Structure 1
Amino acid sequence: MSKRLRSSEVCADCSGPDPSWASVNRGTFICDECCSVHRSLGRHISQVRHLKHTPWPPTLLQMVETLYNNGANSIWEHSLLDPASLISGRRKANPQDKVHPNKAEFIRAKYQMLAFVHRLPCRDDDSVTAKDLSKQLHSSVRTGNLETCLRLLSLGAQANFFHPEKGNTPLHVASKAGQILQAELLAVYGADPGTQDASGKTPVDYARQGGHHELAERLVEIQYELTDRLAFYLCGRKPDHKNGQHFIIPQMADSSLDLSELAKAAKKKLQSLSNHLFEELAMDVYDEVDRRETDAVWLATQNHSTLVTETTVVPFLPVNPEYSSTRNQGRQKLARFNAHEFATLVIDILSDAKRRQQGSPLSSSKDNVELILRTISNQHSGESQDNDQPDYDSVASDEDTDLDATASKAHRQKSLDSDLSDGPVTVQEFMEVKNALVASEAKIQQLMKVNNNLSDELRIMQKKASRLEKQNSTPESDYDNTPNDRDPDDLGSSRKGRQRNTVWQGDGSGPDAAEPHTAPSPIFPSTEDVIRKTEQITKNIQELLRAAQENKHDSYIPCSERIHVAVTEMAALFPKKPRSDMVRTSLRLLTSSAYRLQSECKKTLPGDPGPPTDIQLVTQQVIQCAYDIAKAAKQLVTITTKENNN
């Protein structure tokens, strides 16, 4: 855990006080608002951790603090600090700037475009430059100068560079010298603790030979970081590497259920993947675990009275341009797995990772885990189940991006247990269930408070809007205005038909682009109309939350239907092709959340096919959908009011 931050510490991006997050690979501390932008960039750009509410390996935190205190931020803002440099109007963001577009544009330029880093003189052969930088890194890691090594890495030095003359990598050098913080930095940038040098020795071997036992133990942890993180996500425990135990395979509480044919086929396909494809899938699931856990911390640490703001959770993994479109689509699809489905996928990956490392033959008789993909397969019923691509590689839609962070925590408490011998264990579940109920009650109270605050803001805005002229144009909208009696679970074919129009466009980096030949409409509805519809939405949300609070599950469906009608009417106020990206994004969040809400509420119907309904989990998903709807409505009111006042 983090030590108490000094009051003098400020956000590296906007200079706001008391930063509560860290960008691990950038060596900086950042505030809540700037962190929301970092997360939207993806872990390949910035790896964020909360300083107080995320578990930290002590030396990793020490590495980030050392970089921050020694001016690592000047690496990313080099040209901004040079008074002789002309930056064509660029300036550092400040705490008063809006997140969008001001802070977001600056952060993207700083970290994604590397617009302000020190540029080396141009050479005809870039590979020579990279090789020179890597050789400098190789010699620098034997010292304690972290910021020099970070600067070299930022310019293109390779953490896994194998020195042709020395016959080893920078991590071998750092380990031999006992430089544990350098080892942490190299590992963040991809250095492999299992790499052998020309003599067949690993960095772990050199650390042990040099008597650097803490470093040797940490290198082993880094070597198993992926599987350790997956196991900890499910059961809150890590293997005891000191005693030679390197894997924990959690078990599902309902593992006695017979494996369906689909689950068996999916498991077989997972086991038949090449090591390369399996590693890619495991890394993608690791990133999804990080997204879900960070979302949980994000929701838990935000001011409840200001939850509905322009800083939001990240609905699915951002696009990594270094990956293929197929892999990016598969990564985004992971967000559509509900808690049970995702947990079983994680368990299957852990089981197969252990099998592959230990060289065990394929066997399914001991693995009492289930990979449930029926929901996703139903939504893509037109796709062949016999293709050679992994099941997770279907196209992802922004309509299916829900996983409540609280639900993730609750399923971890209730559904899973860990066993060091990889077998099922009987546990006392009373306290886990009780804790899950308490967490759900707290979430309901939180959402009630947010919704009440939204209602207050709407009343204030309505008074201001009464002085505005009402605009008469309310063109027909194409934002998911499907008849209300249609089952969201039966939308597979229609979703496929609308794929190009339903990609996430919050940052313009989605896998598809909006239709370029259609001119967007600049017309906005009147603020008064938008406020009136939003008031109806919030009134219906309050009814739903009261039903959740009082455990009146039979009221979920009628409440969700009223919310859907109000959402459809509000969406119809807006132009068919809004010019504003924020309007398009908010409308998609609004309507897709309403569909997800209906889908979740229908799970309370008796006689629903499939596994027994977990009412607690359904309630948590319902609450998250309500939160997303309220958030989107607030965004639309704010945008409309601003546009009509200009």
Structure 2
Amino acid sequence: MSKRLRSSEVCADCSAQDPCWASINRGILICDECCSVHRSLGRHISQVRHLKHTPWPPTLLQMVETLYNNGANSIWEHSLLDPASVMSGRRKASPQDKVHPNKAEFIRAKYQMLAFVHRLPCREDDSVTAKDLSKQLHSSVRTGNLETCLRLLSLGAQANFFHPEKGNTPLHVAAKAGQTLQAELLAVYGADPGTQDSNGKTPVDYARQGGHHELAERLVEIQYELTDRLAFYLCGRKPEHKNGQHFVIPQMADSSLDLSELAKAAKKKLQSLSNHLFEELAMDVYDEVDRRETDAVWLATQNHSTLVTETTVVPFLPVNPEYSSTRNQGRQKLARFNAHEFATLVIDILSDAKRRQQGNPLTGSKENVELILKSISNQHSSESQDNDQPDYDSVASDEDTDLETNAPKSNRQKSLDSDLSDGPVTAQEYMQVKNALVASEASKLEKQSSVSESDYDNPTVPLELEETGSGRKGRQRSVIWQGEGSIPEDTDTAPSSSLPSTEDVIRKTEQITKNIQELLRAAQENKHDSYIPCSERIHVAVTEMAALFPKKPKSELVRTSLRLLTSSAYRLQSECKKTLPVETCPTTDIQLVTQQVIQCAYDIAKAAKQLVTITTKENNN
């Protein structure tokens, strides 16, 4: 962090003490509870980042702190500062308010509806107003007054506005003036550091000409932020842009898997996308990486009873109304990809981004992104499924939270198959995710598909790192997990509909979550020798929780939740054992193991949450 946050700081939305999250594009600090609502709105509304447990470019953090300290929150609460608002009963949320509906309704009104932002007088031609605002932004970024520029952006000024008389954009002006924080703000609102002015020069060029070398380097980082973030997610490394290295491409360690016809077909379809569609897909995958990483931080930083509170992880990318229904559905589908499938997609995107930037064109038909996603996540059970079943989740409301346990079986099954709720994804959904095959492994795993429903996770193939310009590679032996730890079907036992008490399940869940948090803290602090003892404690807690339930539960939801819980605990132990010093492994391999460990912990937490939800619902009926 660029500087220590003062202890007097409060949440911008409810005034709770010591906020530990930031909304980057709003220039505010927020507490845990309000952050859970921000996340459910989506990154197009609020881009959240933890102040301590997430890496920050120093100047980006400085930009947020400057906006917060200079009253950026008054932009979003302008009309609430009017004494008339108090008289009319309009007020902001307080720390004591419930998350739902009180805080959630206030936050949605504040940022989604912009209900309290100062409104300009209505004019017949809105485009003229936007142009005027953009011209004001163009002239304001040469100064250090960040809140003025944020106010203009909130009113509709365009960060990429090309000034017809000046022949450049606001980012050109900020770069020439050496205004680093203005450049950060403009970039958050979509300004492109690669845009050329009327003289063919980019903002990077002007920063270098003006001797603002750190700003120039930061602008290059911003230019490659998408591909850098994807590479760092997979292997914990970023390119050395100073040395002219702009891409790091991780690769599957067993490259022979990439030779399958399905894998080649999926890659070919990706390559045939138009640049516009490819950029859209890449941005959607970037958003999904952000969702997954933030979920991991969320689980690691909550107190150990979080799983039974109102605030939860966000199970899929929230709907962006500016996108088509098809694109929103495709974005939601990304949440169903397991770690290996998602890594396959990310690697293909990184490879093709590098190819396109180097001007190596491919001609072909314009494939729909929907087909790309279906190719990469080729479910081995698709032939036996009902052809009428939707390929994607319905575009769900973030308020659809109840399990439809009282619905007829056909409707309930449809809900599980095609709809995601605001809580963690149901166990049935996770069974579908984990049963989905990576295209390149379809032929290998098809033989196993009839063995047991509880072959929950696909084998994970470690990655090796290809660094453009250096050629350094690391290999690690592939360790295949065969789906241990499933709940065996006892054919001699009659199905039982009895469930343990909600209190017992909650108590065991809190024990599991406490152990998970200990593991995630070890991951954050790179204490890899703590992985195995942590995983063993988690396994004991999971076994004790599973023992609460009957050997053969009547409820399919309970059975699938228990399968997810126990199989994930076994796989967690398997992943943690890879940290044993049997052979010397590159640091990047440890990073990959850590990603798998976090994913397993995440699955265990979701399964425990699901069992709490089911037992609470059933015992209250």
> TM-score, normalization: structure 2?
0.71
- CA apart distance, 1:561: 12
Aligned to 1:299: 299
Of the candidates 619, 628, 631, which is equivalent to residue 609 of structure 2?
A: 631
- CA apart distance, 1:598: 8.2
Of the candidates 407, 411, 415, which is equivalent to residue 462 of structure 2?
A: 415
Alignment of 1:216-365 (within 5 A): 216-360=216-360
- C-alpha distance after superposition, 1:330-373 (max 9, x if no partner): 1111111111111111111000000001023559xxxxxx9995
Secondary structure, counterpart of 2:233 in structure 1: helix
1:630–1:257 Cα change, 3 Å: closer
- Out of 185-194 and 207-216, give the one that drifted further: 207-216
Aligned to 2:555: 568
1:18–1:241 Cα change, 3 Å: same
Partners of 2:156 and 2:373 in 1: CA distance: 40
Aligned to 2:33: 33
Asked if the contact 2:220–2:241 (Cα under 8 Å) also holds between the matched residues in 1, the reply is yes
Asked if the contact 2:49–2:294 (Cα under 8 Å) also holds between the matched residues in 1, the reply is yes
Aligned to 1:607: none
Partners of 1:547 and 1:92 in 2: CA distance: 42
> TM-score, normalization: structure 1?
0.68
Alignment of 1:109-508 (within 5 A): 109-360=109-360, 376-378=378-380, 380-381=382-383, 397-398=419-420, 399=426, 400=429, 415-421=462-468, 425=472, 427=474
Asked if the contact 2:333–2:392 (Cα under 8 Å) also holds between the matched residues in 1, the reply is yes
Partners of 1:335 and 1:563 in 2: CA distance: 31
- C-alpha distance after superposition, 1:551-607 (max 9, x if no partner): 999x99x959957965828x8xxxxxxxxxxxxxxxxxx887557558869999xxx
Give the counterpart letter for 2:89 in structure 1.
G
Partners of 1:591 and 1:116 in 2: CA distance: 48
Aligned to 1:577: none
Are positions 1:91 and 2:69 aligned together?
A: no
- C-alpha distance after superposition, 1:247-275 (max 9, x if no partner): 11112223343522111111110011110
Partners of 1:307 and 1:621 in 2: CA distance: 16
Secondary structure, counterpart of 1:22 in structure 2: strand
Q: What value does the CA root-mean-square deviation take over the aligned residues?
A: 4.4
Secondary structure, counterpart of 1:151 in structure 2: helix
Secondary structure, counterpart of 1:84 in structure 2: helix
Partners of 2:288 and 2:154 in 1: CA distance: 25
Partners of 2:289 and 2:465 in 1: CA distance: 18
1:565–1:373 Cα change, 3 Å: farther
Partners of 1:346 and 1:551 in 2: CA distance: 30
1:136–1:274 Cα change, 3 Å: same
Partners of 2:470 and 2:101 in 1: CA distance: 52
Aligned to 2:65: 65
Give the counterpart letter for 2:609 in structure 1.
K
Secondary structure, counterpart of 2:105 in structure 1: helix
Aligned to 2:367: none
- CA apart distance, 1:6: 0.7
Partners of 2:242 and 2:172 in 1: CA distance: 21
- Unpaired stretches in structure 2, ≥5 consecutive residues: 364-371, 396-417, 421-425, 435-457, 480-488, 492-497, 516-532, 573-591
Secondary structure, counterpart of 2:83 in structure 1: coil
Partners of 1:485 and 1:88 in 2: CA distance: 64
Partners of 2:616 and 2:168 in 1: CA distance: 57
Q: Give % identity.
A: 73
Secondary structure, counterpart of 1:164 in structure 2: coil
- CA apart distance, 1:423: 8.5
Report how many residues are paired: 504
Partners of 1:156 and 1:347 in 2: CA distance: 36
Give the counterpart letter for 1:337 in structure 2.
F
- CA apart distance, 1:238: 1.0
Asked if the contact 1:561–1:598 (Cα under 8 Å) also holds between the matched residues in 2, the reply is no
Are positions 1:549 and 2:503 aligned together?
A: no
Partners of 1:6 and 1:272 in 2: CA distance: 51
Partners of 1:374 and 1:354 in 2: CA distance: 20
Asked if the contact 2:178–2:212 (Cα under 8 Å) also holds between the matched residues in 1, the reply is yes
Secondary structure, counterpart of 1:249 in structure 2: strand
Asked if the contact 1:309–1:631 (Cα under 8 Å) also holds between the matched residues in 2, the reply is no
Asked if the contact 1:176–1:210 (Cα under 8 Å) also holds between the matched residues in 2, the reply is yes
Asked if the contact 1:333–1:392 (Cα under 8 Å) also holds between the matched residues in 2, the reply is yes
Partners of 1:225 and 1:419 in 2: CA distance: 19
1:213–1:551 Cα change, 3 Å: closer
Partners of 1:183 and 1:132 in 2: CA distance: 20
- C-alpha distance after superposition, 1:24-77 (max 9, x if no partner): 000001111111111111000000111111111111111001000000000001
Partners of 2:280 and 2:36 in 1: CA distance: 26
- Out of 195-204 and 287-296, give the one that drifted further: 195-204
